[in-house]
Structure 1
Amino acid sequence: MQQPLDILKKYWQHDAFRPFQQDIINTVLAGNDAFALMPTGGGKSVCFQVPALVKPGICLVVSPLIALMKDQVQNLQKKDIKAMALTGSLSADEVSDLLDNCRFGNYKFLYLSPERLENDWIVERIKELDINLVAIDEAHCVSQWGHDFRPAYLKIGALRKQLPDVPFLALTASATKRVQQDVVTQLGLIEPYVFKQSFARENIAYMVFECEDKLYRLTQIFKKNIGPAIIYVRNRRACHEVSSQLQSLGFSATFYHGGLKENEKQSNMEAWLNNRCQVMVATNAFGMGIDKPDVKVVVHLQLPENIESYYQEAGRAGRNGQKSFAVMLVNPSDVLTAKSQFLSALPDKVFLKEVYLKLNSFLQIAYGEGPGVVYPFNFNDFCHKYNFPSAKTYNALQFLDRQGILTLSREFTQKLSLQFLIPSREVVRYISLNPADEEAVLTILRNYTGVFDMEMSINTGLVTSKAKITEEQLLKMLKRMEGQGMITLRVSGDDSNIVFQEVREDEHTVNRISKFLTQQNSIKVAQLESMQKYVTDTTHCKSNMILQYFDEETMADCGTCSYCLAQKKISLTPIEAATAILEVLAEKAVSSRDVEQSLGLGPKETVIALQLLLDAGRIKINENNQYILR
């Protein structure tokens, strides 16, 4: 039997494990349950991938993140390790075939979402597999007190009873003490060994700066810190705007968000990963599975909704152990704006019900139907048609996703519309000459009977599923038919797609999950208040505030955060600052920013001192908006 370190060297090219990894691996190899709380960047995936390769059999990985599942499967496949993921868009027949492959095809990893465990037949098929380890990623999702509760995770406790001799490993990057205890209970872990890595990141300096001109402050940061950087923004438009502004100032920047086509995402990502671009401007869609060790700075231009998210995103800096910075830029209105926008975007039961009913109408799903079909979905069209506010609607859809009612993919998809221009007898002739296209053409004709009379939108997921072809093959076939003058074809973009996991039951569905909505809203409000306190508090070390939030004991202040540096700084009285400004003006005219930089003053100190000098008639402003002596 190969040793864990040998496997680490062979597949990951590392000579040693990170802290806790070896202990966790030895624990599950001994057949024991374990709970691992490892902050982002701690190398959680190695903790289950290595022992799964040591032992014969297959590792079952439960994860709620489709993008992360795909990323890990691709990375394993690149290492010539057999792995697969049961994503939400697969039909029951396709899932059954894949499970057969797992059983007889010498696979080592099977990834699936917790919602898959709600299907009893899938659980029965899993019991037939030679499972050597069950890994539960993002395990905080099992707790009602967590920031991302998903009821489907509760089904894992039942799976624990079905596999009594298989070790279970629960992993999460962020959980308070209350959530940790709840995870162990809900998953039914048996006398688990608990591994808790400190949330302290001594090489990261946490900075909160109050500033009116954030773009100017960004230029200062990136000129001083030459190295890869990430800027997190709230929406897609800001990604493009901030990236463009930085480029105009001479910085190499690109952007990433969920609305980009897959090839654009890949291209922008590779430019940043390979250091052809210094700055990645992104929404929180960016980051899962990204392990770039040399990120020097992570900047947030708006307040995140909770400290858990902030800690994970900020923690993408300095994974190589080098000094790095997590910077939050705020102005006085940010806190009030964030609270107002956040509260207005929280859906209540009435709004949730309206969105659910309208969604079924929008996608033309009859009562009692829905599961198993991929529905192309344009979010903007949906909101526009029913006059829904976008942020509140997105939160409602996300809640339905987390409750296992549906799966909302954030991936860019294509929408096809077509009309046949030739009579049906010519279509029959085409099929006889092109037998490989027969099933796809017949599927279209069976499901879209009016396609000879008018242009109709085609559900590509439905056609490809029934015809057992890929979307790329379908598009090639239709373009070939278009080139022969047989059809008109129009291709447009959808920003996502939806797979319903449950049949449509209207009020019954909404009533069943609404109690979780009320509870989650309360938790989210409390979490936002903690985030606001972190930003506005000027009396405590920022590193310690994060540690205290996660119930970790603190000792001395970190000495490197914005609070600690402010304590070290020798502050000037307004008179002393004014005197220093006069000395600078004796040599040249300067702007207020020049004053800040040359004297190391804060914005407020500068404004007060300049106003004193203006009121006293000692200085004036010239035509270039600079201060000069009178």
Structure 2
Amino acid sequence: MQKALQILQKYWGYDSFRPTQDDVIQSVLEGNDTFGLLPTGGGKSLCFQVPAMVQEGLCLVVSPLVALMKDQVTQLQKRDIKAIALTGGIHSEELIQLLDNCQFGNYKFLYLSPERLEQDWVLERIKTLKISLIAIDEAHCISQWGHDFRPSYLKIAKLKEAFPKIPFVALTASATPEVQQDILTSLGLENPQVFTKSFARANLGYHVLKSEDKLFKIKQILSKNPEPSIIYVRNRKSCVEYASQLNDLGFKATYYHGGLPPKEKEANMQAWMNESRPIMIATSAFGMGIDKPNVKTVIHVQLPENLESYYQEAGRAGRNGEKAFALLLSSSNDVLQAEGQFLSVLPEVAFLKEMYKKLCSYFQVPYGEGLNDEFPFSLNKFCAHYNFPILKTFNALQFLDRQSIISLTNEQSEKVQLQFVIETREVIRYISLNPDDEEIITTILRSYPGIFEVVTNVNTVFVAKSTKVTEEKVIQVLEKLRDRGIVDMFIMQNESKLTFLEVREDERTINRVAKYLEKQNLTKKSQLASVITYVADEVQCKSRLLLTYFGEKVEKDCGACSHCLNKNKNKENSEANHLHVELLNVLKKAPMTSREIAAIFGADEHQLLAVLKKMLEYQMVTLNDKNQFTII
């Protein structure tokens, strides 16, 4: 391990490994197949990066997220470590060149998505490389019971066949016992060494707070805890709204979501990191590679989709070891909203069959043909053409993408970005002079309330449908507004690219993967049910509930969550009420000083004085000229 410590210090600047981290690295260096469960902030990436740097050869990293791959490659390159990623959208000629670079260019890390392993020629080229270690990041994706199952992960078993003597290390930050076992079985790891770090966070208090006015509750929390914070919201619109509302209240907030241009994402991130804007309002898109140690509070405004995601997002608080808070705000209609957001948009098998047939017809793909055919694709236009619900259709397309039936890249559902740059009264004046444009303008203003403050993605298909005009008419009105200096408008010309990866066989195609869809939907329903139980349960410690969910045996309550604090408060109130009665009985006999009372009761003097103070406030007792307590 001495060389591993030297590598750690030289490239990452740390003097020691974290608990469990060193066990995983030691096991990998000994040539063992290894499984590591390191909850959020545990430093998973170092568990394969350090041993790869110790050994000769190339580390192959299978990772499901393009953003995660790019982030890790960038971080390695900043440390003068040669790394490369085979992301989607790279054509065969460039792929060949990149793989040649890996073979002859002294690279240490090759990142690729599991879908790449389905290309036989890519797998054959990888077999020719000098691989020293194979790492499977976000390994929960391999489990059909995981919260982000990807069937293409099952292809990793081919790597085990191709490199039987090369150690595998599978890593994840969140996995129930069932998921852990599924990972080990599906990967076919040989006598794996299993290391799991406890999910317990002694410095982090989990709180569920009931509130019908969530903005007011957030104001209270942030006023009491002005340190850096993250507020997770459900969608992009809420990001803008909450940031605007909090800034109006005198806080310094910024926001982050998947639809922001890269430069704006970077600017907002830096404003939060340097704490010129210490409050970050974000969707679940925020979090990749985030390691800000002094985050004091993480607030969830709505129910999360599953406890795995909640634990990871909440765990971004208190990484410096200081006392921190994870707060989930709950209101009476949250369950219905969560079911509407997460469950009503799950595609059933019947919908998937219909959508797939229509998709093939939309592009005029004949039955038995279509393999590797590529088309530009607009989700909005496709859904408008067949009157399909957008979110349900998007989820169905994502499922087909994960099953490698299609490939969908560069999703861009809105192609117009818009911001009004004149005052509201001037817009009203324009409408009065141009009544033909009124309905389109008012629909946009009503649907995108933050459009005066920030550049906003506008769904022109939705606006056209709402106003019963063509999309071309909507664009014409927007262009007129731009030409007259009323709005800034940017038209995004790039559309998604959809590729058919299998020949069209309609029901036969879908029947083959239907069981995966049904299991996925069942898992998502079960996971949301666990979230609802977590929020509704008022008789158990919140930390204990989370730890039990992840399979840990817990002997005692945390003492820091909302349930434990309420329980202790109720206990103190009960003890204080009992003390009131006893004090009154004693003082009936004779006046006494606080020291004389403490000597009789042998009670905690701080608690005793607090009770006496309350009794004075309620005029149950008074102080005489000898500084003695006496009954009025």
What TM-score comes out, normalization by structure 1 length? 0.75
3-state DSSP of counterpart to 2:45:
helix
Partner residue, 2:492: 493
1:399 CA drift (Å): 1.7
Q: Show CA shifts across 1:144-190 (max 9, x none).
A: 12122111111111210110111000001111111111111110101
1:32 CA drift (Å): 0.9
Partner residue, 1:484: none
Partner residue, 1:235: 235
Q: Per the alignment, do residues 187 and 227 of structure 1 end up closer, same or farther by CA in structure 2, a change over 3 Å counting?
A: same
Is this contact kept in 2: 1:259–1:410, CA < 8 A?
A: no
Q: Per the alignment, do residues 74 and 311 of structure 1 end up closer, same or farther by CA in structure 2, a change over 3 Å counting?
A: same
Q: Per the alignment, do residues 382 and 170 of structure 1 end up closer, same or farther by CA in structure 2, a change over 3 Å counting?
A: same
What code does the residue aligned with 2:294 have?
Answer: D
1:278 CA drift (Å): 1.2
Mapped pair 1:332 → 2:332: yes
Q: Distance in 1 between matches of 2:561 and 2:413?
A: 43
- Give the 5 Å matches for 1:460-539: 492-493=491-492, 497-500=496-499, 502-507=501-506, 508-539=508-539
Is this contact kept in 2: 1:86–1:112, CA < 8 A?
A: yes
Partner residue, 2:175: 175
- Give the 5 Å matches for 1:575-614: none
Partner residue, 1:284: 284
Partner residue, 2:16: 16
1:139 CA drift (Å): 0.8
Q: Distance in 1 between matches of 2:494 and 2:219?
A: 33
Q: Distance in 1 between matches of 2:20 and 2:495?
A: 39
What code does the residue aligned with 1:492 have?
Answer: I
What code does the residue aligned with 1:266 have?
Answer: E
- Give the 5 Å matches for 1:139-288: 139-288=139-288
Q: Distance in 2 between matches of 1:225 and 1:112?
A: 41
Q: Per the alignment, do residues 262 and 408 of structure 1 end up closer, same or farther by CA in structure 2, a change over 3 Å counting?
A: farther
Q: Show CA shifts across 1:318-341 (max 9, x none).
A: 111111111100111112332244
What TM-score comes out, normalization by structure 2 length? 0.75
1:315 CA drift (Å): 1.0
What code does the residue aligned with 2:556 have?
Answer: A
3-state DSSP of counterpart to 1:327:
strand
What code does the residue aligned with 1:71 have?
Answer: D
Unaligned segments of structure 1, at least 5 residues: 417-489, 577-630
1:345 CA drift (Å): 1.2
3-state DSSP of counterpart to 2:209:
strand
Partner residue, 1:433: none
What code does the residue aligned with 1:325 have?
Answer: F
Is this contact kept in 1: 2:206–2:327, CA < 8 A?
A: yes
Is this contact kept in 1: 2:89–2:409, CA < 8 A?
A: no
1:289 CA drift (Å): 1.6
3-state DSSP of counterpart to 1:328:
strand
What code does the residue aligned with 1:387 have?
Answer: N
Q: Distance in 2 between matches of 1:255 and 1:365?
A: 42
Q: Per the alignment, do residues 161 and 224 of structure 1 end up closer, same or farther by CA in structure 2, a change over 3 Å counting?
A: same
3-state DSSP of counterpart to 1:318:
coil
Q: Distance in 2 between matches of 1:360 and 1:266?
A: 39
Q: Distance in 1 between matches of 2:52 and 2:167?
A: 11
1:408 CA drift (Å): 4.2
Comparing 552-561 and 328-337, the one that deviates more = 328-337
Query: Once the two structures are aligned, what percentage of the paired residues are identical?
Result: 58
Q: Distance in 2 between matches of 1:16 and 1:90?
A: 39
Is this contact kept in 2: 1:85–1:110, CA < 8 A?
A: yes
Is this contact kept in 1: 2:136–2:170, CA < 8 A?
A: yes
Comparing 284-293 and 162-171, the one that deviates more = 284-293
How many residue pairs are counted as aligned between the two chains? 500
What code does the residue aligned with 2:81 have?
Answer: I
1:403 CA drift (Å): 2.1
Partner residue, 1:369: 370
1:264 CA drift (Å): 1.4
What code does the residue aligned with 1:140 have?
Answer: H
Is this contact kept in 1: 2:139–2:171, CA < 8 A?
A: yes
1:413 CA drift (Å): 9.8
- Give the 5 Å matches for 1:76-155: 76-155=76-155
What code does the residue aligned with 1:369 have?
Answer: G
Is this contact kept in 1: 2:230–2:299, CA < 8 A?
A: yes
What code does the residue aligned with 1:205 have?
Answer: G
Unaligned segments of structure 2, at least 5 residues: 417-488, 578-632
Is this contact kept in 1: 2:256–2:281, CA < 8 A?
A: yes
1:378 CA drift (Å): 4.0
Is this contact kept in 1: 2:378–2:412, CA < 8 A?
A: no
Q: Per the alignment, do residues 156 and 535 of structure 1 end up closer, same or farther by CA in structure 2, a change over 3 Å counting?
A: same
Q: Distance in 1 between matches of 2:75 and 2:363?
A: 35
1:406 CA drift (Å): 3.8
Comparing 162-171 and 497-506, the one that deviates more = 497-506
What code does the residue aligned with 2:41 have?
Answer: G
Is this contact kept in 2: 1:406–1:498, CA < 8 A?
A: no
3-state DSSP of counterpart to 2:272:
helix
1:36 CA drift (Å): 0.3
Is this contact kept in 2: 1:260–1:412, CA < 8 A?
A: no
1:497 CA drift (Å): 3.0
- Give the 5 Å matches for 1:30-49: 30-49=30-49
Partner residue, 2:462: none
Q: Distance in 2 between matches of 1:372 and 1:281?
A: 40
3-state DSSP of counterpart to 2:239:
helix
Partner residue, 1:7: 7
Q: Per the alignment, do residues 414 and 215 of structure 1 end up closer, same or farther by CA in structure 2, a change over 3 Å counting?
A: closer
Q: Distance in 2 between matches of 1:211 and 1:147?
A: 28
Partner residue, 1:476: none
Q: Distance in 2 between matches of 1:12 and 1:205?
A: 30
1:97 CA drift (Å): 1.2
1:371 CA drift (Å): 3.6
1:385 CA drift (Å): 3.4
1:513 CA drift (Å): 1.3
Q: Distance in 2 between matches of 1:353 and 1:306?
A: 27
Q: Per the alignment, do residues 407 and 555 of structure 1 end up closer, same or farther by CA in structure 2, a change over 3 Å counting?
A: farther
Q: Distance in 2 between matches of 1:533 and 1:19?
A: 31
1:404 CA drift (Å): 2.8
Is this contact kept in 2: 1:262–1:412, CA < 8 A?
A: no
1:52 CA drift (Å): 0.6
Is this contact kept in 1: 2:415–2:493, CA < 8 A?
A: yes
